[in-house]
Amino acid sequence: MTGPDLDQFTAVLPDHLHCPVCLGAAYPPVVACSREHIVCHGCLESMCKKGLQPLCPTCREPVPATLKISPGFTRAIESYSYKCDKGQCKWVGSVGDVPQHLKDSCKYREVECLCSAKYLVKDRAAHGVECPLTSLFCPRGGKACSGVTRSGMFLRRDLAAHEKVCTMYKCPYNCNTYTTAANLVAHQKSCSALRLRIKSLERKLAISEDLVRTYQELGKKRHAVQKGAQGRAPEGSGDDDVVVEEQGPAKRKRVRQASALEIMTLESSDGDDLEARVPGEAMGRSGRRRAAFGTRGRRASSGNRKGAQSGGDPSPSLSEKGIVVE
């Protein structure tokens, strides 16, 4: 094992804290000679394993027989902040706390499942969904189907075998029959609940078909009535008819009267009447435009009365001709 990567420190580590062998941080720092040159513990261990008398890599002095980790250099290196080097992990702390972080809290460290698959800790739930060693209850019978484990659960890899013998397949027609998958197919062919359901659906279908026929006949009758009405009253526009229906028989006369008078006025075709044409055309189409017509009618009326008093415009307005539109 080599020393921690220098790039993971958030500030530049001074040269005398580097390991001259692996070029990482000299951590844990082992004193390699009487001049207190340090080497990382991992590198010194592998130097000793080679069997020869190890020399200080900096000054070539023989390494002392008893090695010790320097508390002073340890504190110096641990005073620099270190970023976790696993994936997108955001952890920052002392390099001395890295082993604990990787053991307990790093979500980006790789772990190996008993099924021998490897995954990152953050993906544990996703692996659980596919791991053949995940324990599950039978999706149909739950605890009623006893599995191989103490809790009555099955390992996912054993569930396929159980499905062939599971007796908790339920008849979907609510007849309370539970059986194996193979028997359920045979049962459904003769299930009495299924026959009742089919009868009920057939009744509902017949009612729906009756309703459709009734609507179609009503539609035809309405069409015929509309055609007849158009044939009898060619002088009235379709828009006027709608207004009459909406306003009731009491107003029907007034509107018809208004239409007739309006035609007469337009036939005389002087300037005033052309002005009156626009609101007149709008009568049947919308309440808003009808209201506008009413206002204009009243305005024109008062204006004309003034005109009449002062001997001005002699032509009568629509409202003076008896047209009242509310």
Q: Could you list the residues that contact Zn ion (CB under 5 A)?
A: 3, 19, 21-22, 33, 35, 37, 40, 43, 56, 58-59, 84, 86, 89, 91, 106, 113, 115, 117, 131, 138, 140-141, 145, 166, 168, 171, 173, 175, 177, 191, 193
- Cα separation, 286 vs 290, in Å, equals 6
CB of 47 to Zn ion, least distance (A): 9
CB of 79 to Zn ion, least distance (A): 20
CB of 9 to Zn ion, least distance (A): 15
- Cα separation, 105 vs 92, in Å, equals 12
CB of 216 to Zn ion, least distance (A): 38
Asked if residues 152 and 170 have their Cβ atoms less than 8 Å apart, the reply is no
- Of the pair 159, 325, the CB lying nearest Zn ion is at 159
Asked if residues 25 and 3 have their Cβ atoms less than 8 Å apart, the reply is yes
Placement of tokens 């207190």 in the chain: 36
- Cα separation, 297 vs 35, in Å, equals 114
- Of the pair 56, 283, the CB lying nearest Zn ion is at 56
Asked if residues 131 and 117 have their Cβ atoms less than 8 Å apart, the reply is yes
Asked if residues 318 and 300 have their Cβ atoms less than 8 Å apart, the reply is yes
- Of the pair 126, 225, the CB lying nearest Zn ion is at 126
- Of the pair 168, 261, the CB lying nearest Zn ion is at 168
- Of the pair 120, 244, the CB lying nearest Zn ion is at 120
Q: What is the dihedral of CA 221, 226, 231, 232, to 10 degrees?
A: 100
CB of 30 to Zn ion, least distance (A): 9
